[in-house]
Copies of this chain bind each other. A is one copy, B any other.
């Protein structure tokens, strides 16, 4: 942490000093280039003495190996591409955390992009990241354009599809069944005696997984010979405000409602806030159920009933499977219904 010499007053952009290369280090250490390479990667054989010489030279020159060149010369790439629909939803940030944490321990680098839930944009981004010859591409969900699939197939790199297993996987899929989650949620509400059930959701056009949960939920109701009493599907991404407005809308229609299923916890939290503001008693007058079991909803005055989803675990597991060189497979990490105090 000592820095005896004062830094030059140059802007980083100014100094055009050609960066130190392997060749410089070799010259400084008085050894061959391949020896430096071997020492630095701790690969092959060399004497302790040369090792010291090389390390001294590296230290003295402040050499940082150029991975661009390394990746080109060697066969395998240490890059992993991660493409998520959004970052405003904490769910994807969690997955990203899980992935990067597992990856950086093994010296891999994450290359990152956001699709905004647009399959066409996803295709463009896949093309862009594929140009970096990543060892693996991680995507969210199983729904992709034909072009995306084709490129992925042709690339020859591993493909990890996260957070969904309801469908055909390209290579490896890690997640859980949203359809089943919806179905079990319906069963849970019915079990508690609710019969006049409403749904408040966000745009299922773009978020395919919330659509699958909804379908599963309807199936769960149908199994008991029931239908939804009311439904309100907002034409916007999920948010607290949409959830709040959505519940207000449903209740304004006057039909008796005793439970509401929200497309996720952000929406459910909005509904919860509406009830607080309108002094609607929970769960006596209305029961609320969300999805994801976000930390925030566990600390509301009444914890909101939800479904815990293994998000960080999904990211971590996917990274591990890739690192292990695991064969193509589908990994079901499951989910857990969390009762809370709102049902």
Contacts and interface: CB of A to CB of B under 8 A. Distances in A.
A277 to B, nearest CB: 4
Contacts of A72: 66, 68-69, 72
A111 B113 contact: no
Contacts of A69: 72
A131 B67 contact: yes
Contacts of A266: 296
Interface residues of A, number: 83
Interface string A253-287: 00000000000001001100100110000000000
Nearest to A276: B301
Contacts of A298: 241
A127 B58 CA distance: 13
A131 B13 contact: no
A329 B241 CA distance: 38
Given A94-B87, A129-B109, A145-B1, A153 B104 contact: no
A112 interface: yes
Interface stretch (A154-162, A176-184, A188-196, A198-206): A154-162
B65 A295 contact: no
A38 interface: no
A299 B276 contact: no
A226 B11 CA distance: 43
A96 interface: yes
Interface in A105-146: 107, 109-114, 125, 127-133, 145-146
A12 B147 contact: no
Given A87-B94, A100-B112, A109-B111, 4 more contacts: A19-B155, A66-B72, A109-B113, A240-B299
7 contacts: A12-B153, A67-B132, A67-B133, A68-B72, A87-B97, A88-B97, A111-B111
Nearest first, the 7 A-B pairs at minimum CB distance are A277-B301, A87-B93, A112-B112, A67-B131, A240-B299, A3-B146, A1-B146
Interface of A: 1-3, 7-8, 11-13, 15-17, 19, 62, 64-69, 71-72, 77, 82, 87-88, 90, 93-94, 96-97, 100-101, 104, 107, 109-114, 125, 127-133, 145-147, 149-159, 170-171, 239-241, 244, 266, 269-270, 273, 276-277, 295-296, 298-301, 325, 327-328
